[in-house]
């Protein structure tokens, strides 16, 4: 018995000691370590980790280092913690209920699955982020990896075809050139249609697109996004529906693009180097006539002009017996070509202005930190020659970011200075525009003349040719001799501080600034003649400076709490944003020498300066509620006050509500094996558009009345002329925002454990209070009055299908396909509903905006082949001009027996019926092969340049198909190309459906092949990562459009006259190789 008591006593003593030891260890701070890797075992750098203690207030934050390792100091032994792992491009992962042990045995290994837009993917929304399963609106996303491997100047070029409902058009192929983006169609007639870009919380302005305009109205606007380094971007999310964009209120109706840049991670210092080198070439050679075919066209055109004037004449008649009209004479320069002599000059002017152009980019990123402070620094250098001679673009940019804090306090600073140096060439616009569009000149210039004279000077043959030929400048001389340089310095900076007042309740203050300074210096030397002029010409120059200073302050209060199955996130805030603009310009003439090109060397003959300003104050609120991860509801409202609008309409509210049901989380759905997730969502909201002139609501004064600069001057009693001012625009105190009410319904379905995902959205958006300049009675002293009268509708459907699956041990396949259908229709215009008729690049190129039709439809005569014979001519309607057999034939739309302005009709629109995109990546072990495709179908293009290069007159070189023109009733050619005639007859010179072409296209945007070196090899040479790749950008474009780019629109920011091609800078095909190394 005593022995038994002793045994139990010893056991009890041991238990007491153990309990004492546990009591001592419990609550002690211990270290928890872990690794985060991909499904392939590769370490993931920069994963954000949030740890919350159960039944406690403590929250810890960390991130993985260059080896995917994290560590957390200070967790309590014996306590339970919930771990949350988020990383852009990967599904959100959790480890819940982890019990921290005393000692060193707290190790975690977490694997994260690459997202194919899965439910747990982290998505950035306005003023926060959500997992995709919690979203109740329509948001499209692009990961950083989807943007890389593409040799582009600006990241927006890499977005083409990536997202449903987002139309990305690269209308200009110049380095740093314009990119036009439309979210769910065209939403305004006269206000802007560009989306709002928000970079790290800072809404940036589109106003800089109009900075430092040149002398050519056809020149595409500057791209304000070209200064941003694509290597710095972590993610891009596009808010498409009103429920998502309403938090940005008066700027949300055209969509919101949220860009988040990279930040530092906990761990030792890591260095990443990216290099890319490429060779560019023009992606198409337009098929024009060679010198011999051109000579024949000149001969036919001049002869037919002669025979029309003298029906008894013969084609062989010499010039001295022909009328005193040079257009009926045969230029002697073409006679050797007609005789078939060999070895004559046959200049391919496209080859003379286009070149193989190198481009290179180098980027260094340095990042690291610890649990309390992380840092990220990057530097980028880009040097890109344009494919047009004498064109070059350089960019120097950097970014510096610090994020830090403790358990309750966080702060961050993000600065990004950049400098671009752009040597411009006037490639856009027709041959006659000021300084003449170089590409248009190259297509229309006579191939029978050389580039240079025997003495090495530029040949000026066509400009002084005569014989009824149109005077044109040598395209190589125009590209080479003019100096046009634009420099831009940009500083984007923002900072924030955040403090957790109570558990889940946080106050955040942030401030940001976006400063843009532009300078453009231009000089046209005396060695370049003006059209029809001789040398030396009068040298001219100008210098423009523009500065945009945009600042923002924001105060937000957020609250997040989980109550059992209930989860609530609330946000309230106030923001204030203001922009100041300053513009100065000076011009000079009569430079004594072309050596000194600064304006002080010439005679100042004009100048101006201006200042503008706008401001926006806003209150905002949002509440997001979910129950049991099945039911989600979001409501938001923003109230904006803008300086741009009338005194009676300064403020407006933009509410939105949305809901979603995660059907697959319901108990009754558990037996459905093929469908792994199913969510139904719907939203409705109001957004606005404030992209109008800064002082559009005010009566403005000027020293001219809109037509005559001297009408505001007056004479005092002493007969002294004094400058005066007069009211040039009437005030409208009720001018306010265009407002868009949008309904969206969507369904998201995941199949086979979310390996295959389908998203379908239906939307219907009605925009009211459209801003229109309406005619007013002349007695008012004004011609038009800006008012909120008009409405339009955009409705459509979007389909996205994505696939992400491992195929055995070594293979994996990831793909995405998206289709978007949008129908644009005007529903109301002014009090009478009268259509808006606008003109394009020439007076008879008409566009119409009409109730029941799309904005900016082409409104032209409709051709019906050619008059085939005299009977066809006599029995058909004709214009009032003398008309002959072989001239273009037009449809008599109103059946009144004549062709006049009443026969114009709608001939399509620049807006496509649908757009689509495909992308795919196939991986085998360390190899990966990817491609992306973009397409547009049903859009039309007004190829206005066919007025010259397909006019069959012989005064310009022509597209090669005109060889098959009408010759006689026995030889009608292709049946739709009129006869040759230097003096156009009938309706041959009228802009008509003859100038409309199908703009549908399918473009392979990118093909890339890469190899990622395995970790086992890299560890031996002390590298964390290494990858090489080769890529081809724009290798193939399949289209029936005859010129360079089916995405062209000379006036991208004018919805009333979009879709015109009057000469454009072609896109480049780029062959490149790249290297990524991480130390």
pLDDT of 152 strictly over 90 = no
Tell me the mean pLDDT in the region 395-401. 96
Top-confidence residue, 715 or 695: 695
Superfamily of segment(s) 29-114: Carboxypeptidase-like, regulatory domain (2.60.40.1120)
Render pLDDT for 874-897 as a digit per residue (tens, 0 to 9).
999 999 999 999 999 999 999 999
Please tell me the chain's helix, strand, coil percentages from 3-state DSSP, rounded to the nearest 5.
15, 45, 40
Render pLDDT for 299-348 as a digit per residue (tens, 0 to 9).
999 999 999 999 999 999 999 999 989 999 999 999 999 999 999 999 99
Residue 461's pLDDT band (boundaries 50, 70, 90)?
confident
Distance from the Cα of residue 909 to its chain's centroid: 20
Q: What is the DSSP letter of 525?
A: -
Answer whether 29-114 and 207-282+356-697+732-860+910-925+940-949+993-1078 agree in fold: no
Q: Which residues pair with 396 in a beta bridge?
A: 381, 419
Render pLDDT for 826-879 as a digit per residue (tens, 0 to 9).
999 988 889 999 999 888 999 999 999 999 999 999 999 999 999 999 999 999
pLDDT for res 683: 97
Residue 799's pLDDT band (boundaries 50, 70, 90)?
very high
pLDDT of 219 strictly over 70 = yes
Top-confidence residue, 122 or 31: 31
pLDDT for res 797: 98
Least confident range from 22-36, 465-479, 858-872, 951-965: namely: 22-36
Residue 765 Cα distances to 883, 1058, 1072, angstroms: 48, 21, 42
Top-confidence residue, 1035 or 51: 1035
Residue 1018 Cα distances to 273, 274, 497, 706, 1073, angstroms: 15, 17, 39, 70, 21
The span from the first CA to the last CA of the chain, in angstroms, equals 71
Top-confidence residue, 357 or 100: 357
pLDDT for res 105: 67
Residue 977: enclosing H or E segment and its boundaries?
Answer: none
CA distance 964 to 795: 43
Tell me the mean pLDDT in the region 583-611. 94
Residue 88's pLDDT band (boundaries 50, 70, 90)?
low
Token output for 169 = 């058009």
pLDDT for res 116: 52
pLDDT for res 157: 86
Render pLDDT for 712-735 as a digit per residue (tens, 0 to 9).
666 766 777 777 777 888 899 999
pLDDT for res 710: 45
Tell me the mean pLDDT in the region 800-812. 89
Tell me the mean pLDDT in the region 1042-1058. 91
Percent of the chain with pLDDT over 90: 66
Residue 23's pLDDT band (boundaries 50, 70, 90)?
very low
Q: Tokens 């949305």: give the residue.
A: 658
Residue 359 Cα distances to 54, 153, 174, 231, 426, angstroms: 55, 10, 12, 16, 20
Token output for 488 = 């831009």
pLDDT of 816 strictly over 90 = yes
Tell me the mean pLDDT in the region 22-31. 56
Distance from the Cα of residue 196 to its chain's centroid: 11
The CA dihedral of 858, 861, 864, 867, to the nearest 10 degrees, is: -150
Least confident range from 135-144, 189-198, 725-734: namely: 725-734
Token output for 1004 = 């392979």
What does the longest C-alpha to C-alpha distance in the chain come to?
Answer: 148
Q: What is the DSSP letter of 1014?
A: P
What b/e sequence results for 47-61 when a residue is b if at least 16 CB atoms lie within 10 Å of its CB, and e otherwise?
Answer: bbbebbbeeeeeebb
pLDDT of 118 strictly over 80 = no
Q: What is the DSSP letter of 23?
A: H
pLDDT of 12 strictly over 60 = no
Contact 1034, 1044 (CB under 8 A): no
DSSP 597-638: -SGGGSEEEEEEEEEEEEEEEEEEEEEEEEETTTEEEEEEEE
pTM over 0.85: yes
User: 3-class secondary structure for 834-887?
Assistant: CCEEEECCCCCCEEEECECCCCCEEEEECEEEECCCHHHHHCCCCCCCCCCCCC
Residue 6's pLDDT band (boundaries 50, 70, 90)?
low
CA distance 247 to 655: 8
Nearest-Å Rg of the Cα atoms of the chain is 34
pLDDT of 50 strictly over 90 = no
Tell me the mean pLDDT in the region 103-110. 77
pLDDT for res 100: 87
Residue 113 Cα distances to 46, 456, 815, angstroms: 15, 65, 15
Percent of the chain with pLDDT over 70: 94
Average pLDDT, the chain: 89
Render pLDDT for 992-1015 as a digit per residue (tens, 0 to 9).
999 999 999 999 999 999 999 988
pLDDT of 120 strictly over 70 = no
Distance from the Cα of residue 820 to its chain's centroid: 17
pLDDT of 938 strictly over 90 = yes
pLDDT of 918 strictly over 50 = yes
pLDDT for res 25: 43
pLDDT of 631 strictly over 80 = yes
Render pLDDT for 236-271 as a digit per residue (tens, 0 to 9).
999 999 999 999 999 999 999 999 998 887 777 889
Domain segments of the chain: what residues? 29-114, 207-282+356-697+732-860+910-925+940-949+993-1078
| Contacts of 963 by beta carbon, 8 Å cutoff, 6+ apart | 289, 293, 297
pLDDT of 483 strictly over 90 = yes
Q: Which fold has domain 207-282+356-697+732-860+910-925+940-949+993-1078?
A: Maltoporin; Chain A (2.40.170)
């Amino acid at each position: 018995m005593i022995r038994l008591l002793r045994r139990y006593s010893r056991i009890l003593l041991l238990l007491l000691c153990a309990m004492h030891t546990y009591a001592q260890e419990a609550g002690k701070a211990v270290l928890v370590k872990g690794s985060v890797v991909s499904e392939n075992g590769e370490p993931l750098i920069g994963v954000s980790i949030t740890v919350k203690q159960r039944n406690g207030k403590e929250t810890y934050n960390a991130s993985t280092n260059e080896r995917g390792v994290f560590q957390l100091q200070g967790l309590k032994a014996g306590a339970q913690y919930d771990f949350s792992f988020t990383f852009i491009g990967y599904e959100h992962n959790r480890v819940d209920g982890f019990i921290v042990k005393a000692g060193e045995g707290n190790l975690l290994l977490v694997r994260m699955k690459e997202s194919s837009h899965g439910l747990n993917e982290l998505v950035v929304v306005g003023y926060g982020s959500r997992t995709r399963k919690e979203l109740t609106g329509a948001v499209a996303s692009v990961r950083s990896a989807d943007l890389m491997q593409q040799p582009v100047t600006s990241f927006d070029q890499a977005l083409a075809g990536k997202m449903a409902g987002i139309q990305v058009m690269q209308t200009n192929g110049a380095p740093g050139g314009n990119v036009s983006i439309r979210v769910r169609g065209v939403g305004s007639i006269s206000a802007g249609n560009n989306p709002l870009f928000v970079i790290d919380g800072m809404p940036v302005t589109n106003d800089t697109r109009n900075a430092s305009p040149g002398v050519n109205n056809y020149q595409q606007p500057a791209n304000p996004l070209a200064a941003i380094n694509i290597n710095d971007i972590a993610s891009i999310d596009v808010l498409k529906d009103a429920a998502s964009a309403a938090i940005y209120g008066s700027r949300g109706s055209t969509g919101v693009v949220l860009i988040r840049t990279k930040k530092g991670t906990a761990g030792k210092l890591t260095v990443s180097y990216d290099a890319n080198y490429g060779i560019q070439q023009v992606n198409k050679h337009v098929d024009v006539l060679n010198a011999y075919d051109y000579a024949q066209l000149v001969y036919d055109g001049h002869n037919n002009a002669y025979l029309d004037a003298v029906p008894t004449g013969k084609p062989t008649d010499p010039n001295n017996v022909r009328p005193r009209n040079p257009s009926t004479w045969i230029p002697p320069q073409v006679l050797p070509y007609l005789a078939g002599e060999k070895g004559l000059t046959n200049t391919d002017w496209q080859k003379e202005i286009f070149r193989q152009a190198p481009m290179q980019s180098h980027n260094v990123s340095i990042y690291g930190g610890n649990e309390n402070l992380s840092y990220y620094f990057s530097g980028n250098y880009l040097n890109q020659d344009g494919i047009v001679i004498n064109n070059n673009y350089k960019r120097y940019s950097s970014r510096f970011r610090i994020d830090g804090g403790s358990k309750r306090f966080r702060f961050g600073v993000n600065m990004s200075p950049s400098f671009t140096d752009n040597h411009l060439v006037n490639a856009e616009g027709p041959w006659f525009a000021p300084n003449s569009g170089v590409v248009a000149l190259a297509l229309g210039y006579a191939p029978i003349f050389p580039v240079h004279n025997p003495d090495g000077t530029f040949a000026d043959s066509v400009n002084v040719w005569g014989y009824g030929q149109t005077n044109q400048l040598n395209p190589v001389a125009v590209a080479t001799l003019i100096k046009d340089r634009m420099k831009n310095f940009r500083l984007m900076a923002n900072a924030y501080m955040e403090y957790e007042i109570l558990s889940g309740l946080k106050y955040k203050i942030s401030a940001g600034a976006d400063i843009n300074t532009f300078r453009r210096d231009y000089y046209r030397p005396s060695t370049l003649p003006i059209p029809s002029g001789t040398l030396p010409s009068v040298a001219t120059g100008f210098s423009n400076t523009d500065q945009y200073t945009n600042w923002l302050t924001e105060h937000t209060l957020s609250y997040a709490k989980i109550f059992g199955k209930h989860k609530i996130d609330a946000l309230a805030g106030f923001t204030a944003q203001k922009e100041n603009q300053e513009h100065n310009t000076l011009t000079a003439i009569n430079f004594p020498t072309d050596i000194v090109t600064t304006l002080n060397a010439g005679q100042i003959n004009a100048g101006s300066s201006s200042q503008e300003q706008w401001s926006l104050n806003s209150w905002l609120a949002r509440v997001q509620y979910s129950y049991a991860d099945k039911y989600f509801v979001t409501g938001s409202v923003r109230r904006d006050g803008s300086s741009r609008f009338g005194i009676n309409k300064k403020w407006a509210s933009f509410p939105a509500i949305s809901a979603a049901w995660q059907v697959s989380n319901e108990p009754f759905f558990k037996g459905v094996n093929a469908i792994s997730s199913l969510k139904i969502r719907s939203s409705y909201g109001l957004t606005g558009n404030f992209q109008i002139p800064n002082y559009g609501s005010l009566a403005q004064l000027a020293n001219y009345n809109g037509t005559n600069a001297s009408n505001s001057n007056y004479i005092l009693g002493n007969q002294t002329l004094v400058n005066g001012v007069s009211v040039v625009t009437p005030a409208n105190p009720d001018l306010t925002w265009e407002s868009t009410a949008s309904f969206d319904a969507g369904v998201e379905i995941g199949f086979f454990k979310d390996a295959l995902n389908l998203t379908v959205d239906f939307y219907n958006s009605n925009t009211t209070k459209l801003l229109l300049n309406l005619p007013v009675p002349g007695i008012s002293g004004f011609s038009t009055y800006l008012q909120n009268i008009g409405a339009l509708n955009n409705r459509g459907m979007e389909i996205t299908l994505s696939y992400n699956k491992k195929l055995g041990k070594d293979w994996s396949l990831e793909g995405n396909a998206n289709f978007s259908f949008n129908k644009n229709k005007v529903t109301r215009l002014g009090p009478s509903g009268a259509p808006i008729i606008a003109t394009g690049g020439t007076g008879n190129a008409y566009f119409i905006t009409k109730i029941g039709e799309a904005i900016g439809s082409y409104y032209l005569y409709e051709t019906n082949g050619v008059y085939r014979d005299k009977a066809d001519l006599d029995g058909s309607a004709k214009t009032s001009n003398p008309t002959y057999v072989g001239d273009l034939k037009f449809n008599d739309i109103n059946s009144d027996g004549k062709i006049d302005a009443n026969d114009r009709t709608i001939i399509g629109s620049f807006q496509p019926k649908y757009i689509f995109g495909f992308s795919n990546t196939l991986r085998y072990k360390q190899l990966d092969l990817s491609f992306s495709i973009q397409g547009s179908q049903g859009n039309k293009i007004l190829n206005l340049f066919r007025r010259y290069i397909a006019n069959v007159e012989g005064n310009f070189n022509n597209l090669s198909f005109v060889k098959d023109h009408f010759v006689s009733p026995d030889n009608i050619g292709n049946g739709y190309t009129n006869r040759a005639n230097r003096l156009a007859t009938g309706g041959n010179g009228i802009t008509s459906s003859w100038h409309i072409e199908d703009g549908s296209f399918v473009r392979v945007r990118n093909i890339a092949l890469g190899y990622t070196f395995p970790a086992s090899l890299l560890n031996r040479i002390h590298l964390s990562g290494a990858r090489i790749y080769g890529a081809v950008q724009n290798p193939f474009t399949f289209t029936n459009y005859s010129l360079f780019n089916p995405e062209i629109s000379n006036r991208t920011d004018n919805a009333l006259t979009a879709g015109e091609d009057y000469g454009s800078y072609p896109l480049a095909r780029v062959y490149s190789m790249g290297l990524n190394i991480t130390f």
